[in-house]
Structure 1
Amino acid sequence: MNKFFSTTFASLAVLALSVTAPAFAASPTDSPSSRSDSDPANRPVIGLQYEGPIKVVYQCTRDEWKEGVSKPLLYLKKLRGYYEKQGIDLDQLDLRAVFHGDASTHILTDEAWNRVKNTDTGNPNTKLLSELKRMGVHVEFCDSRRQKEGWAKADIHPDVLLAAAAFARVIDLQHQGYAYIRF
């Protein structure tokens, strides 16, 4: 009896699909020239579909600058601002950046920056690092790289956390569900 009902149900499902299939066929008004998505001026913009929790980790290795500051730090600030403008509950947002490689100097204190760069200007990222901390963004630095460079822990900006090893930290965060972005 179960086999009878299963077979009958499957046959009815196929019949229903075949009867309703023509309703999905393109009509003359759905031609490419009449659809708004074929008009570049009227194409849709995809908005946010997922509201959280949102977890992101930036792996920051390149010595890139924009608007006079570290490009990954600036983009972290912009991403956080975007989510805020979209009405995302900031308690649902966890942004992190793990610095190492050529981007290592981006997270130095003013004094260490001056010493390493042989200047007296101070680190252009100092204000941005403190601002990101106030915004709830976590900036981390590879402690292995710090040791390799011969920098003291006090040379790292006080709002930056130390991670034992950058690659291992990024992998750990990915296993915790963080989306990965590379800079």
Structure 2
Amino acid sequence: MTLWNARVRVLACSLLPILAMSLASCATTPKAEPRAEMRPLPGTVWINPVIKDFGEVHPRPDAAVQPDPNAEYKVIVDVVHGSDDHTAVLGSLQRLARTVNLLGYAKVPSNHVHIVAVIEGQATFATASNATYRKFFKVDNPNLKILHELKQAGVELFVCGQALAEGGLVDTDVGPDITVSLSALSDFVVYGHLGYSYMQL
């Protein structure tokens, strides 16, 4: 072995631990930054113009982009996000109720508001009857009340038939205020063709 080869070997051996440490640090998943908790200031005003028990809104008559009371609004809402807390109302349904309340706050007449909500994906179990929900989560379904109030406010409620099949549910497992559709995918196509805007919650 020449002196040059010996020096290269020594250098390589000394660099190996450093290289291994660098690779290990690259492979380590960085810790997620803690998310700031959203908390209203004391005394913040909240109102419920349409959906009385859910989706409260904070009045802002000074804010930009206010809904036009004379316009016609057609929206198909993709309710897809679930929750690990099966004892609480889904945040996605609360936001749907807030959408209805915001239009009500803006004085848009109910006959100018056409909202279709398609419940699918992780949110599918929110449509289950109490008996079915208890089989899975050992508690009553906390979402049935908000779904009833949404329907009473004129929101059309569908659950994706494909999602039911994937979750091992049948039509009779679904609560009384929800209609089973062929698929969320085809619902978006059909209602998009009818001029409905798409929104995901």
**TM-score, length-scaled by structure 2:** 0.63
Whole-Å separation in 2 of the counterparts to 1:136 and 1:177: 18
Mapped to 2, the partners of 1:71 and 1:98 lie a distance apart of 15
1:71 aligns with 2:91: yes
Which position in structure 1 is the counterpart of 2:67?
A: 48
Q: Is the 8 A contact 1:143 1:165 kept in 2?
A: yes
2:75 partner letter: V
RMSD over aligned Cα atoms: 2.2
Note the alpha carbon deviations across 1:55-78, whole angstroms, 9 max, x for none.
Answer: 111112221489931122111211
From 172, 182, 193, give the equivalent of 1:154: 172
Specify the SS of the correspondent of 2:189.
Answer: helix
Conservation of the 8 A alpha-carbon contact between 1:76 and 1:95: no
SS at match of 2:104: helix
The correspondence of residues 10-159 of structure 1 with structure 2, limited to 5 A, is 45-49=64-68, 51-64=70-83, 68-117=88-137, 119=138, 121-159=139-177
Letter in 1 for 2:186: A
Unaligned runs of 5+ in 1: 1-42
C-alpha distance in structure 1 between counterparts of 2:81 and 2:65, whole Å: 30
- Residues 113-169 of structure 1: CA distance to partner in whole angstroms, max 9, x if unpaired? 11122x1x2011011111111111111101122223332212111100111011011
Percent sequence identity is: 21
The letter for the 2-side match of 1:54 is: Y
In structure 2, C-alpha distance between the alignment counterparts of 1:74 and 1:148, rounded to whole Å? 25
Unaligned ranges ≥5, structure 2: 1-61
TM-score by length of 1: 0.69
The one-letter amino acid of 1:87's match is K
Q: 8 Å contact 2:128–2:173 — kept in the other structure?
A: yes
- Report if aligned partners of 1:60, 1:97 keep a CA contact under 8 Å in 2: yes
